[in-house]
Amino acid sequence: MNKEVFHNISKIIERDSKTTTYKLALLRGVIDIIQNNSPYISFIENRVQIPIGLLIEKWLIYYYPILQSQISIPQINGGTNLAFSKPLNKLIFDYEARGGFSAFYNDLRNKGIPEDLQRDFFELVKNLRYTITKMPMKYIGRSINNDFYSIFYYENPIVRKKSAIDIESLIKDFGTFSIPFDYYEAFKILGSFINGQDSILFKWAEFSVNASGDNLSVHKVLNEVLKSPITLRDIKESKKLYKDILQMQGNVYCVWTGRKISNYDIDHLIPFSVWKNNDLWNLLPSDSRINNQKRDKIPVPEIIERQKNLILDYWEILFESQCKRFQKEIQVALLGNHSFDSWKKIGISQLQNSCNYLIENRGFEGWKI
């Protein structure tokens, strides 16, 4: 199996645009279909073909409870409605008196959608097909190259409304899509881990739920298991300590540009969302505008090399002010078994190695000015 495919999947998950959940729903749907070993999957040369109708079914299952929820669960940035929110909300409303989500799914799979809902349902599934093929299928993979439809191809026949629409007609009449065979193999082997059903955390939560006699929920256990020992208060206190130290130094320079700054952020060099690390060495002053550009991206090794003298200047200031804390933190996070005597050289080198690993192996987006 091509190792590059695994790296590409990591890049897609971490780097591709995240303006909506469409990309995640597409990946989840494809993986679920493959994991279910659908008999509709076929193989043509080096690509694997799957009915778009199976994806439409998955999206209905994913988004119905989200839109039905009494709690607002955002699915899009900078807007309020998904492309198919209006017709799906109407379907949800129509099924309230018919048994809700379960009744809808039973109709879709077995009985067929009731005649009085057929027209609206037909418009909904056409909308879903358009959204899937024109949005995530088109753009997914652009973190790898700039081509549209670089991974997903699709065939989109003209669909005319039939007297009844059910899962079978969705599968037969709404076209097909295909992915490279290497991606199919990767999703087949690791898909359940990517989707989470077989992940260690999910299995941990399932065990705890069973051991409690079903008195707990998976959601409740996961919420507790995933708690970080570093709180927002800890981060604020560390940043305040850093600012107090800098105020005694006088002039402050942006670590990324070298320019003198009066208003600045204390930036996590390796983003906290990526690496739950609040060590002082990982906190550096940055121009607010530059920090906003960087956000959750990883500094490339080249920019660390270019700015290493300024990084080391700040590390030296921290070492002089918070000797014990700084030494312990950088020893554990960067130096390892190396002697502290060489902390500057080894620290910068290991910082570059860590950033390179996160970019090349974990798929996070690299950043430079």
pLDDT digits (tens, 9 = 90+) for 267-307: 899 999 888 899 999 999 999 999 999 988 999 999 999 99
Q: How many CA atoms lie within 13 A of 214 on its CB side?
A: 0
Residue where a domain stops, chosen among 171, 195, 219: 195
Question: Comparing 12-21, 198-207, 218-227, 320-329, which segment has the lowest mean pLDDT?
Answer: 12-21
Mean pLDDT estimate for the chain: 89
What is the H or E stretch that residue 264 is in?
Answer: strand 264-268
| 207: amino acid identity, one letter | F
Short-list 26, 8, 1, 13, CA closest to 144: 8
Question: What confidence category does residue 163 fall into, taking pLDDT thresholds of 50, 70 and 90?
Answer: low
Range of the domain at 208: 197-227
CA distance 140 to 157: 22
Residues 119 and 38 in one domain: yes
CB atoms within 10 A of CB 294: 20
Q: Is the pLDDT of residue 172 over 80?
A: yes
Measured CA to CA, the distance from residue 8 to residue 363 in angstroms comes to 7
Same domain, 202 and 191: no
Q: Are residue 215 and residue 83 in the same domain, yes or no?
A: no
Same-domain check for residues 22 and 152? yes
20 and 166 housed in the same domain: yes
Query: Does one domain contain both 211 and 259?
Result: no
Q: How confident is the model at residue 335 (pLDDT cuts 50, 70, 90)?
A: very high
Residue 101 vs residue 203, higher pLDDT: 101
Convert the pLDDT of each residue in 115-135 to its tens digit: 999 999 999 999 999 999 999
What is the widest separation between alpha-carbon atoms in the chain? 79
Q: What is the pLDDT of residues 301-330, one digit of tens each?
A: 999 999 999 999 999 999 999 999 999 999
Identify the bridge partners of residue 22 per DSSP, sorted by sequence position: none
Strand partners, 267: 284
Give the β-pairing of 298-299 and 42-44. Answer: unpaired
Residue-wise pLDDT for 6-20, tens only, equals 888 888 888 776 788
What are the tokens at 179? Answer: 């992915």
- In whole angstroms, what is the distance from residue 363 CA to residue 306 CA? 23
Indicate whether 236 and 222 sit together in one domain: no
Q: Which amino acid is at 331?
A: Q
Task: Please indicate, yes or no, whether residues 56 and 191 belong to a single structural domain of this protein.
Answer: yes
Place of tokens 């959940």: 21
For residue 137, pLDDT beyond 90:
yes
Please say if the pLDDT value at position 161 is more than 80: no
342 Cβ contact partners less than 8 Å away, ≥ 6 residues apart: 335
Residue 346 scores a pLDDT above 80? yes
**Beta-bridge partner residues of 155:** 176
Tell me the percentage of the chain whose pLDDT exceeds 70. 97
Q: Determine the Cα–Cα distance for residues 182 and 3; give it in Å rounded to an integer.
A: 9
pTM here is: 0.80
Task: Say if CB 300 and CB 367 are below 8 A apart.
Answer: yes
pLDDT digits (tens, 9 = 90+) for 60-69: 999 999 999 8
Domain tally for the chain?
Answer: 3
End-to-end CA distance of the chain: 36
- Specify the residue for token string 């996961």: 222
For residues 170 and 142, membership in a common domain is answered with: yes
Question: Do 32 and 163 belong together in one domain?
Answer: yes
> What is the helix, strand, coil percentage profile of the chain, to 5?
60, 10, 30
Residue 202 has pLDDT above 70, yes or no: yes
> The tokens of 201 are what?
């955390």
Residue 162 has pLDDT above 80, yes or no: no
Residue 219 and residue 73 share a domain:
no
- Which of 147, 172, 195 corresponds to the end of one domain? 195
Please compute the mean of the pLDDT values over residues 21-44 and round it to a whole number.
Answer: 92
CA atoms within a 13 Å half-sphere pointing along the CA-CB vector of 317: 22
Q: Are 283 and 269 in contact (CB under 8 A)?
A: yes
Q: Are residues 125 and 244 in the same domain?
A: no
22 CB neighbour count, 10 Å cutoff: 22
